[in-house]
Amino acid sequence: CVDPGDSPLPPLTAVVERARAALKYVEPKNLLLAPDCGLMTIGRELARAKARFLVDVAKELRRSL
């Protein structure tokens, strides 16, 4: 749900909504937020930022459940 390349992060609300839409098909305990293909092809700082972003998405999603 997050592009693993050098592209900027999408808006938090967009990814939260995408994850929320997935909850129509899977139970919350089975939903996994992950980058599309891993983060090995980008710099460490950007990879950390994208990983932190996914944590923020998960926190926001949990608040709304």
In a domain, 44, yes or no: yes
In a domain, 5, yes or no: no
Interaxial angle between packed helices 12-22 and 44-63, expressed in degrees from 0 to 180 and rounded to the nearest 10: 60
In a domain, 54, yes or no: yes
Amino acid in the structure at residue 34: A
In a domain, 29, yes or no: yes
Q: What is the pTM of this model?
A: 0.85
Q: How far apart are CA 46 and CA 52, in angstroms?
A: 10
Total domains, the chain? 1
Residues spanned by the domain of 25: 12-63
pLDDT in the model for residue 1: 66
The CB-side HSE value for 24 (13 A sphere, CA atoms) comes to 5
Q: Place 3 in a pLDDT band, splitting at 50, 70 and 90.
A: confident
In a domain, 4, yes or no: no
The pLDDT tens digits of the residues spanning 12-60 come to: 999 999 999 999 999 999 999 988 777 888 889 998 999 999 999 999 9
